[in-house]
A and B are shown apart, each in its own frame.
Chain A
Amino acid sequence: MAQVVFREATKTFDGVTALDHLDLEARDGELLVLLGPSGCGKTTALRLVAGLEEPDSGEVLIGEQVVNDVEPKDRDVAMVFQSYALYPHLSVRRNVEFPLRQRGVDPAERRRRVAEVTESLGLGDYLDRKPRQLSGGQRQRVALARAIVRSPRAFLMDEPLSNLDAALRLQTRADIVALQQRLGTTTLYVTHDQVEAMTMGHRIAVMDRGALQQVDGPQAIYDHPANAFVARFVGNPGMNLLPLLAVHEGPPAAYGDVPGGTVPLGAPFVTDPALARAAAVVQGASSPSLLAGIRPEHLRLGEDGTIDATVLIVEVLGAEVHVLCTLLDGTSKIVVRQEAAARRPGAGEGVRLVASPGTVHVFTGVSGARVGGSS
């Protein structure tokens, strides 16, 4: 077991930067999720650790060792591919023992380890089947078995659940977490699914356009997104981001103007000096240079509301309801999450929205960096 570290790791493909000076550490025994949209560089990062790509600059360390020039086979990492990458002409048994044969493990030991691993993953009855005779979930478990059978220093998992149906994904997600906890092996887990990231990761590294946006525990990332991208990407639905037209210091705390109303910004300028500075900036700007971020669950419909909006669509999800509204400027959209039992407005109905005090985040409009607000 070992930590995996990126130091200023950069990788470009044909002039396009896939990974931009990545500084990141997966701690020993940790399950670190790399989360981001397609093309954000998360898979490239994983491939750098595996040795399937070489960084243009910077270093990758496994344990204390810089592995830039170490052959993939000598890095002692195992990878689970999105496509599972099972050898179609080999049985489950041969697939699982494939890495052991190359390492010259003697046949008796090989049999013992294959039996132990396949038994623990519920594959004991399928050892003589070919991959095409297995279901998606079983193939996925074979891929996992092949990874863990050699007891590597780190697991690299590249969207291993994305080919499974929803129910199976839920089950396998729990299986992988349990497995990782049992083995305690450092794991880098790549996904674009923020629910997967939130439920599985000890920590989450959110990436966008090759750059690390934020790395922290799931709850911290959700509660304190470092920028507008993280705020929007994490959460389902993501955080509402509204143009903040002006920021006022008003008793008892600061508040901001958004199209069609106002939102409470939570802290007086004196306790949040960043807000005071932002207020000065926004006053002099010709177009909105700040964004107010509000999670859908921190909004509710009510007569005491401070934002006027018109209902566009009402989505019923069973346990909860999402109400999508437009603000008075006609372009800004806002989603309200409410309980199924609450009164459901109809499409086209005018409503008033209330943002809970202390829940509004403020980001700059240009860089998206966090300015202040909800603490």
Chain B
Amino acid sequence: MPSHRRRHPHFRRRSRHVVRYVLLTLGALVVLAPIYLTVVNSLLPVSALAQRPPPLVPTSPQWGDYATAWSQGDLGVYLRNSAIQTGVIVAGQLTTSILAAYAFAFLRFPLRRVLFVVFLATLMIPFEVTLVTNTTTISDFGWYNTFQGLTVPFLATGFGTFLVRQAFLQIPRDLREAATLDGYGHLRFLLRVAVPLARPALGALGVFSFLAAWNQYLWPLVVTGNGNGVRTVQIGLKLLQGTQVSHLNVALAGTVIAVVPLLVLLVGFQKHLVRSLTGGAVK
């Protein structure tokens, strides 16, 4: 009897674990299956793509499709353009978010709360609502088909300001005051103390804005035209798909190439990302 009592809670705990892992595995399968199928299909010969059921393992990988996608799709140019666009947007968002967040967190000025609410309110306006106005503005500036046109509308973000402000608010007031007594003005305190201490949040913001900028499709489509001068990799992939209708595997190879920078980034910044999202949850 006593041994039964001892085993019972252990059994319940174990079965709870099993259920949890089964659910997690199912979730992971749902997320990873499309990625896996994309990679597999990009390595299959065209003839195998039509098979039903489709093969789940490429028995003789067609690596040549990657070279075809790279050369025929001009992916080198598109990736460079995306890198410039994304780099500018990430740097811009980090800079403006840091400066605005510092003001909201550390400075006292009239209408501070109201202005912060206005900043937050911008999060509720979908990008599509401002698409036409922004397009007109970009045209009026003569920025059609330029990197300015691609990037300037995205250089500031309410989300980034909010995220960094929350991180700055965690910095004890005593630190600011100690730095004041040591002769550190706002800019020095920002650069020497606040930014280093907010690194996890800044890392997360960098990753979020990188993902959003890299994956942009509608805006680059609207503000870039013929010729591949500034077109980004997402537009490039769509064009590649158009020219390779009968070679879906080549288009998929191009997609895999375009995803590689994101994977590298996510693996590199995973720690920052998780720390930022769980920051403050435990002391």
Contacts and interface: CB of A to CB of B under 8 A. Distances in A.
A, B: real partners:
yes
Interface of A: 50-52, 72-73, 77-79, 81-85, 87-89, 98-99, 102-103
A98 B182 contact: yes
Contacts of A87: 175, 193
B49 to A, nearest CB: 53
A253 B167 CA distance: 69
Interface of B: 172, 174-175, 177-184, 188, 193, 196-197
B174 A81 contact: yes
A85 B175 contact: yes
**Top 10 A-B pairs, shortest CB-CB distance:** A73-B183, A85-B174, A85-B178, A99-B182, A102-B183, A81-B174, A89-B196, A83-B174, A72-B180, A72-B181
B174 to A, nearest CB: 4
A252 to B, nearest CB: 59
A83 B196 CA distance: 20
A81 B179 CA distance: 12
A73 B182 contact: yes
A79 B196 CA distance: 23
A248 B84 CA distance: 95
Main secondary structure of the interface of B (DSSP, over half): helix
Contacts of B193: 87, 89
Nearest to A152: B181
Contacts of B177: 50, 52, 79, 81, 85
Contacts of B188: 102
Given A81-B174, A83-B174, A89 B181 contact: no
Contacts of B184: 73, 102
Nearest to A150: B182
Nearest to B177: A52
Report which residue of B177, B181, B188 has the largest number of chain A beta carbons within 10 angstroms of its beta carbon.
B181
B111 to A, nearest CB: 19
Contacts of B182: 73, 98-99, 102
Nearest to B174: A85
Contacts of B179: 98
Nearest to B183: A73
A88 B184 CA distance: 17
Contact of A79 (B172, B175, B181, B183): B181
Contacts of B183: 73, 99, 102-103
A73 B183 CA distance: 5
A99 B197 CA distance: 19
A83 B180 CA distance: 16
A370 B174 CA distance: 39
Given A99-B183, A102-B183, A79 B197 contact: no
A132 B184 CA distance: 23
Given A89-B196, A89-B197, A81 B180 contact: no
